[in-house]
Amino acid sequence: MAIKIEISNVANLPSRFGKFQIITFKENEKEHLVVFKGDLKGVVNVRIHSECLTGDAIGSLKCDCRDQLIKSLEFIENNGGMVIYLRQEGRNIGLLNKINAYALQDKGFDTIEANHQLGFKADERTYEIVDFIFEHFGIKKIKLLTNNPQKLAGLKSVEIVERLPIEIKPNEFNVKYLKTKKEQMGHLLSDEI
Ligand SMILES: [Zn+2]
């Protein structure tokens, strides 16, 4: 399917985490949000966050998404940069499938096994729109806020000059999930996990 991208105007967004500017990139039916602060010149601090409704909005303790999002917003408030909020819920399997995966996790499967049971890969996310966004802003070099060293290995438009880790404290509900990410998906997480 041909990709059609529509871009909104820039608006101000005062938030509890800082005074930001926002812009939307509509990629076919998916409306991605970019939250940014500062002039975005030189090496730009970037967090690429994939939507997690249960974590970001409901405060689910099954994952670390909301903590990572909040820390990223606080970071760009203090240091400048952008959070690219991609609408690929549940590692891009969608909300309905994610909840079905959670139901399997309730029966004892881990996050990867549950996805496989439903016929998906462990991670179905894509990042083509990210190249488009960087090109739109003229960004060539970034510092990437992530615990995942493989993230964005396929990016064409920018050079990642540094990876900034986001330290998240585990809780009793997400420790197994974080352990799977650390041991089976190569994430760099604290020794507490
Ligand atoms: Zn999450």
Beta strands in 38-183 (DSSP E): 43-50, 81-86, 141-145, 159-164
Residue-wise pLDDT tens digits, 106-126: 999 988 999 999 999 888 888
Task: For residue 5, give every residue at least 6 positions away whose Cβ sits within 8 Å of its Cβ, in sequence order, or none.
Answer: 25, 26, 27, 129, 132
pLDDT number for residue 90: 86
Q: Residue 42 Cα, ligand 1 centroid: separation in angstroms?
A: 31
* Residue 1 pLDDT > 70: no
pTM (predicted TM-score)? 0.89
Whether 163 is catalytic is no
pLDDT of the residue at 193? 64
Residues, CB within 5 angstroms of ligand 1 (ion): 52, 55, 63, 65
* Distance from the alpha carbon of residue 48 to the mean position of ligand 1, in angstroms: 13
Q: Please report, rounded to a whole number, the percentage of residues in the chain having pLDDT higher than 70.
A: 96
**What is the Å distance from ligand 1's center to 67 Cα?**
9
CA of 68 to the centre of ligand 1 (A): 9
**Span 3-57, pLDDT tens digits:** 899 999 999 999 999 999 999 999 999 999 999 999 999 999 999 999 999 999 9
Q: Is 87 a catalytic residue?
A: no
Catalytic-role residue among 56, 64, 110, 123? 123
Angle at 153 between CA 193 and CA 187, to 5 degrees: 5
Give the separation between CA 46 and CA 153, rounded to whole angstroms: 15
CA distances (Å), 44 to each of 81, 130, 148, 164, in order? 5, 14, 18, 12
Rounded Cα distance between 67 and 50, Å, is: 13
